[in-house]
């Protein structure tokens, strides 16, 4: 038995998220369908995690087992010929037998893109959140510092999050500006459901002067007491890389 890992890039616009689900087409379903055609038998993928509906990925990692002795290239170029234009394998690798990216992952890098323009941008609309008005970057960066380290992120998860512990380690929250685009790069050991989007929604409230950096410090010091900002919309988020 071989275990293969795929590094996948996808445009999440037209999908109900990564994970198989009854109420919409998922990326997992499409990739498993293409693999089933390639291997002439059903396959179950083990992914490094989920992405929500509308969220993108440049480096989703998914593994599967197969008995077939076909060249590795079949799982990159061969699979790409069977996948739709909005999903692609960027590379395929042999992995230790039974490799599970979810448990093997040691860290993830998410990027959230904000378009801070006076007017909406058609060319940026599918991969950014349009935020009108000035944003105080210095205040956002000060608030971001409170979100790094090993912290209790209970205030930064969605109602449906079933994680047993809400302690996570965030290694860096970096905010970069280039023209009208603002990029928030978040590196961490692991993330609660919607954690990055709630972090970004909260940082934008700080940028607008509606929340203070001290409020954000309070959110992680006293979880569940200080309310979070809104959840930033999905299309600005991209899973850039999973580290092992």
- From 17-25, 119-127, 197-205, 216-224, span contacting a second copy (CB under 8 A): 119-127
Separation between Cα atoms, residue 86 and residue 5, nearest integer Å? 19
**From the list 31, 89, 173, 196, which residue makes contact with a second copy (rule: CB under 8 A)?**
89
Separation between Cα atoms, residue 97 and residue 95, nearest integer Å? 6
Min separation Cβ 205 and a second copy, Å? 23
Binding marks (x or -) toward a second copy, 3..42, rule CB under 8 A? ------xxx-------------------------------
**From the list 36, 37, 77, 171, which residue makes contact with a second copy (rule: CB under 8 A)?**
77
DSSP 22-89: TTS--HHHHHHHHHHHHHTS----EES----TT-EEEEEEEEEEE-----GGGGTHHHHHHS-TTEEE
* 52 included as an active-site residue: yes
Please list, residue by residue across 172-188, b when 16 or more beta carbons sit within 10 angstroms of its beta carbon and e when fewer do. ebebeeeeebbebebbb
Min separation Cβ 196 and a second copy, Å? 17
Separation between Cα atoms, residue 146 and residue 218, nearest integer Å? 9
Binding marks (x or -) toward a second copy, 123..162, rule CB under 8 A? x-x-x-----------------------------------
Sites of contact with a second copy (CB under 8 A): 9-11, 56, 58, 76-77, 80, 85-91, 119-123, 125, 127, 238
């Amino acid at each position: 038995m071989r275990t293969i890992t795929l590094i996948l890039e996808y445009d999440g616009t037209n999908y109900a998220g990564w994970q198989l689900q009854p109420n919409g087409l998922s990326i997992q379903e499409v990739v498993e369908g293409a693999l089933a055609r390639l291997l002439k038998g059903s396959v179950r993928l083990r992914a490094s995690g989920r992405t929500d509906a509308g969220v993108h990925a440049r480096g989703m990692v998914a593994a599967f087992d197969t008995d077939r002795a076909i060249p590795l290239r079949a799982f990159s170029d061969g699979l790409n010929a069977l996948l739709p234009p909005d999903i692609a394998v960027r590379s395929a690798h042999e992995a230790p037998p039974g490799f599970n990216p979810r448990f093997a992952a040691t860290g993830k890098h998410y990027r959230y893109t904000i378009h801070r323009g006076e007017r909406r941008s058609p060319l940026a609309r599918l991969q950014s959140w349009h935020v009108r008005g000035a944003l105080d970057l210095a205040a956002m960066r000060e608030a971001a510092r409170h979100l790094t380290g090993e912290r209790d992120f209970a205030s930064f998860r969605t109602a449906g999050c079933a994680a047993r512990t809400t302690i996570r380690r965030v290694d860096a929250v970096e905010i970069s500006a280039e023209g009208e685009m603002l990029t928030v790069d978040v590196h961490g050991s692991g993330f609660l459901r919607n954690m990055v989007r709630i972090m970004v929604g909260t940082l934008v409230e700080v940028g607008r002067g509606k929340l203070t950096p001290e409020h954000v410090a309070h959110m992680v010091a006293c979880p569940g007491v200080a309310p979070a900002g809104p959840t930033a919309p999905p299309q600005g988020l991209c899973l850039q890389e999973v580290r092992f």
